Amino acid sequence: MTELLQPTSSPAAESELRNRFQGPIVGPADPDYDTVRAVWNGMHDRRPSLILRCTDTTDVSAALRYAKASGQAVTVRGGGHNVAGTALADGAVLIDLSLMREVTIDPEQQLAHAQGGCLLGDVDAATTAYGLACPAGVVSHTGLGGLALGGGYGWLARKWGLTCDHIIAAEVVLADGSVVVADESKHAELLWGLRGGGGNLGIVTRFTLRLRPVGSVHFHTGVFALADGVAALARYREFAEAQAPDLHTVGALKYAGSQDWVPAELRGKPALFLTSVWFGDPAEGPAQTEPLFATAAGDEARLMSYAELQALGDHGEPHGNRYFTKSCYLTELTAGAAEELIASGAAMVSPRSSIDFEYLRGAIAEVADEASAFPRRDAPYIVTVSAQWTDPAQDQANAAWSRAGVERLAPWHLGGAYVNYLQDEQPGKVAEVYGTRRYERLADLKRRFDPENVLSGNQNIPPTASAHQ
């Protein structure tokens, strides 16, 4: 049996845990400790004091009470994909939700009830069987918990809004171990905070998510040589800013692969990719997307299921590699900004890296600014400079490339940032992300629901916070 007693633990806390906790408990001496503690970003090799693998809401409550009674810090893991590795801390109790992945669908009401440890793919698999989907991120092994609580950009965001806009209720274990359900009629202020405030206010054990109808989508992708990149981005800007809400068009600078439609002279070199997905009547798709690809060096268009679209990005960002990400919002994509993006693409240190950018707005910006904790709904563009590599000797070079990629776009920074992409920031960055009013409202909620800052292993808003500090 796992040795629970930690230096700061107590026999009473241990006995209470053993009585109440049903799931597996994994400690440093257990053979599966290294496998179970691993998170997606291989940069974070941290050693929790104990891993409590919760199987239900009662387990989550028992885990929090144990950590408190034994005076230990906690972290919470959903899908383990946070690039900053907030799910793991040395010496803290890891409250692991990864065994809680059940999804049930209410097709009449168009709702999904998803446990707090679900991956996006779990939700997609359950919803698409009914021709429904909850708008979410673009890689299906990402966790629903962290993504939804921080916001949730994805293919359907311009048409339907963010993932957090689709949380209509949540079962939450609060820091003291008590359980509440937050919806528009009860604990509405908590629901407001869960829609964008991250994991600060409680542990969500069940999300109730509004679903939207989805069918086949028209998918069109094309490649451009870097030398033609600035002109292609001028076209992208015009196209994306005028696109219908049924269309979502993204760009990436990355090394070209050897797909049939990629010209031989571009393969194995950094290139510009644009990808446009049409969610309206599939018959209208080609006419919608073709104008963007008139000057592409190569392109491919086809009809695919929503489930296939959601899994397209899965292989490009595997577990265990080393990742460093910097991100920013841009006010506009001028020719100067386009030149900087192309120059960063040319300077990529690792061939696995990418710079991803997209024009946002649409339904994201239609939700009133004060309606949720999610900030910067007005942001026109988001850019993410993601380094990916495997050799620890390359850590500095890759992180420096990622940082420089965002810094060189400084003249066009909107300010703020997407909380789910923060990594290695200066103090005060979380306050900057939310802005004064929203940050203070979240700090008020923190004082109400987690006055001792038990849930601090996140992009933290301490109960003592003031945006003026």
Ligand X SMILES: Cc1cc2nc3c(=O)[nH]c(=O)nc-3n(C[C@H](O)[C@H](O)[C@H](O)COP(=O)(O)OP(=O)(O)OC[C@H]3O[C@@H](n4cnc5c(N)ncnc54)[C@H](O)[C@@H]3O)c2cc1C
Interface ranges with ligand X (CB under 6 A): 39-40, 75-83, 86-87, 97, 116, 137-139, 142-143, 145-147, 149-154, 198-199, 203-204, 317, 420, 457-458
Nearer to ligand X, 250 or 338 (CB): 250
The SS3 call for residue 294 is coil
Nearer to ligand X, 150 or 251 (CB): 150
Least Cβ distance, residue 444 to ligand X (angstroms): 19
Residues in CB range of 448: below 8 A, 6 or more apart: none
What DSSP string describes 285-309? HHHHHGGGGTT-SEEEEEEE-HHHH
Least Cβ distance, residue 371 to ligand X (angstroms): 18
Q: How many angstroms separate the CA atoms of 357 and 405, rounded?
A: 12
Least Cβ distance, residue 205 to ligand X (angstroms): 7
Q: Are 185 and 432 in contact (CB under 8 A)?
A: no
List phi, psi (to 5°) of 149: -70, -25
Residues in CB range of 183: below 8 A, 6 or more apart: 168, 169, 170, 191, 208
Least Cβ distance, residue 295 to ligand X (angstroms): 28
Nearer to ligand X, 147 or 330 (CB): 147
Going by the DSSP 8-state scheme, the letter that residue 425 receives in this structure is: P
Strand partners, 222: 274, 299
Least Cβ distance, residue 198 to ligand X (angstroms): 6
Nearer to ligand X, 137 or 375 (CB): 137
Going by the DSSP 8-state scheme, the letter that residue 143 receives in this structure is: B
Nearer to ligand X, 6 or 82 (CB): 82
Q: Count of CB atoms within 10 A of residue 399's CB? A: 21
Q: How many angstroms separate the CA atoms of 239 and 446, rounded?
A: 42
- Do you know the residue count of the chain? 469
Q: Are 439 and 429 in contact (CB under 8 A)?
A: no
Nearer to ligand X, 205 or 235 (CB): 205
Q: Count of CB atoms within 10 A of residue 269's CB? A: 12
Least Cβ distance, residue 78 to ligand X (angstroms): 3
Least Cβ distance, residue 83 to ligand X (angstroms): 6
Nearer to ligand X, 342 or 355 (CB): 355
